[in-house]
Amino acid sequence: MNIDFEPQTEDDAAAIVRAAAQRSARLRIQGGGTRGICAAIEADAVLSTRKLSGIVSYNPAEMTMSALAGTPASEIEVKLAEHRQMLAFEPMDPRGLSGATGEPTIGGVFATNSSGPRRLSAGAARDHLLGLRFVNGEGIVIKSGGRVMKNVTGLDLVKLLAGAHGTLGLMTEVTFKVLPLPPASATIVLSSLNDAEAAGAMARVMSMPSEVSSAAHLPESVRGRFISGRLPDGPATIFRLEGLPATVSARAEKLTSACAVAGPVTVLEDQDSRALWREVRDVKPYADGTERALWCVSVAPTVGHQLVAALRLETGVDAFYDWQGGRVWLRMEADPEADLVRRFIKALGGGHARLMRASSAVRAVTPAFEPETPAVSVLSARLREKFDPKGIFNPGLMG
């Protein structure tokens, strides 16, 4: 779908939305067009924020930044790196999965609540969002939150927009906190555990005082596709340590000793450690140029492996685990099997499955998001009625 509107100012964006609301025209909202999850939206026009670009303010001492929504995330990361700072929640670069060639934007990061492996220790994207400006479905500009971490004015509204995928409003500016970039990184690799054993090992390690910032399990089917196959043979259960070089070294020594009772242990030093977690963040094994259905599933960390085992009895599936096993990346070998995936998730205590990639034909008939419960559906409808009374933003995306 071609882009119909590219506002260069917030006022331009508000005028476009007001005109669309007056004629009840449906708008597909996108940033750099890199997140395929919006590909199935049927709309009358596409409104892109990519020309609403630029860093508005940055205070390294206070560790806060404000940027227009269309600012490339890479531009922000480069600026932060100059001051040894970072987006601690590690938003993924979705282009490998989607096959898109645009630039992921900071507005898209927060609109989708994009959060990577460090979510275990640093929280999700929405936890770092301090304030925003957005245009509601009537073309009215609304400001919520502030530019300092102690300012909690409008905090709930800020968190509400984060992760709403553009269904409640068009973000025009975001203000967020940043954190220091860890001077050193190391990864403990525990080899040869099956999925169930890895789940137990991750639970034990995360309960230890080792300050592990990320934990994941890479079964043998995907292990060789990370860092050019340089991981040791066998399934890899991986734990990231970050901080000052001396503390990372001391913690790595203790964690290596603790893990050695469960299997062979290897330590990846700084460069390889950082490269590995970038690839986990960006789901490198499945950035394969195909349209094979890919699910991002959130469940309790102790049941992720049970979900994969149950699915393997019924259909072809490949998988690996992030967030201590609580995030499961599922690539289906044939059909997406949405009903099967969601039925098993419910049977295991509940969770959420999001269809991240599929062919156009599959997307047309498969809901991308977990169906809402009746109570949540009523609440969501009321929210959309308040923010977007004519339903013009990303119609049908979230139910």
Q: Are the beta carbons of 284 and 224 closer than 8 angstroms? A: no
Tell me the average confidence (pLDDT) per consecutive run of 10 residues in the chain, 399 residues long.
Answer: 89 97 94 76 91 97 97 98 98 94 95 97 96 96 72 65 94 97 98 98 96 98 95 97 97 97 97 98 95 96 97 96 98 94 96 93 88 88 92 81
* This prediction's pTM: 0.94
Report all structural domains of the chain as residue ranges with CATH numbers, in order of start: 10-180 (3.30.465.10), 184-281 (3.30.70.2190), 287-365 (3.30.70.100)
What local confidence, expressed as pLDDT, does residue 270 receive? 97
Q: Which residue has the tokens 């555990």?
A: 193
Q: Are the beta carbons of 208 and 163 closer than 8 angstroms? A: no
Sheet holding 64-68, edge to edge: 55-59, 64-68, 170-177, 129-135, 141-145
The H-assigned helical ranges of 169-296 are 195-206, 220-223, 245-259, 270-281
The alpha carbon dihedral of 189, 191, 194, 199 has a sign of negative
Instruction: Write out the two tokens for 72.
Output: 């490339």
Phi/psi at 310 (nearest 5 deg)? -65, -40
Report how far residue 309's alpha carbon sits from residue 126's, in angstroms, rounded to the nearest whole number. Answer: 32
